Amino acid sequence: MVDRIYNFSAGPATLPVDMLEQASKDIVNYSDTGIGLIEMSHRSKEFMAVAADTESLLRDLMEIPANYKVLFLQGGASSQFFMIPMNLLGSGEKASYLNTGTWSKKAIKEAQLFGDIDIAYSSEEQTFNRVPLPSDYTVDPDSEYLYFVSNNTIYGTQFSAFPKTDTILISDMSSDILSRKIDVSKFGLIFAGAQKNMGPAGVTVVIIRDDLLDKVPANIPTMLKYKTHADKDSMFNTPPCFAIYAVGEVLKWLKKKGGVEAIETINKAKASLLYDCIDSTDYYRGHAEKTSRSLMNISFNLPNSDLEGKFIKEAVKIGLNGLKGHRSIGGCRASIYNAFPTAGVEKLVAFMKDFEASNQV
């Protein structure tokens, strides 16, 4: 087997090696059926079992209540930016949004096409370096829902505690789903693109409370109604079969690791290694305020852009890839999702210390 690099990319991101090896077999001959996983009918008993097992594992790991539907949809998480207001806002209705980064801005733009959108909070003037405290915003009592992004990949911020409101709570958890224990019953809808913590790009998981399925306006196209997919167990049309299978394999891996509670402990330890390195010197500066720091994405800067370019280039030479920061803020970014190994963080920290010693300003 070829030696693997450490992939710090924000997504598509590192997946468990065990899952990749199993997928490489099943894509040619699934479970000794004589047919590859990506060739078989989505209505075959074999694939229907794959989809059912994947949903069951997700329900188990996230402790999803029985009155919630789990949907496997296409169109990426970005399609949820318009599907949510299309389904949940009637004519003249209002929703509140917390603007904490690029993905919430995109969601706000789409939502404004369908309703009266109140931006209850924004950290844009601070280059999205923090998420709000409860005292920083008020939810309009006329709002149908409050929308927020739980973890911001670009800026390295994360809600350590979720908003508390009597309004329906909706969250984009694309980059931290399954990384820590949450109470699903506090939410009306949760969605996440798979390509960070769950699997490859191609499937978006939507977890929606039953009572919201009948809220959809009558003039919404069939394919864009959550109820359409809920009524057909995500089989209304051909689903992203391989991506759903891969999610299931990742969930099996996570369960073997001890589940969400166990991986949360590992994630906190990995992030602490890197944040401790950043905090131990003035050479590296984290972008996010300390109270808003993400366990998944750590954005940081060096003394100047020339050093950042050199840092990224030299890191690649020793197998530390994907450390270039997002173009909107530059600098560096280390994404350390569930499947990212602790050894990779340790190697990065050692490199950071060596680089600082050899490249003083």
Structure tokens that stand for 271 in this block: 């992030």
Say which residues have a Cβ less than 8 Å from residue 200's Cβ, sequence separation at least 6.
12, 15, 194, 242, 243, 246
Q: Which residues pair with 95 in a beta bridge?
A: 117
- Asked if residues 40 and 238 have their Cβ atoms less than 8 Å apart, the reply is no
Active-site annotation holder among 26, 69, 172, 324: 172
Rounded Cα gap, residues 286 and 275, in angstroms: 8
Tell how strand 168-172 and strand 143-149 pair up: parallel
Active-site annotation holder among 26, 69, 176, 196: 196
Rounded Cα gap, residues 220 and 201, in angstroms: 26
- Asked if residues 144 and 137 have their Cβ atoms less than 8 Å apart, the reply is no
103 belongs to the catalytic site:
yes
Rounded Cα gap, residues 17 and 168, in angstroms: 38
253 belongs to the catalytic site:
no
Q: Which residues are catalytic?
A: 103, 172, 196
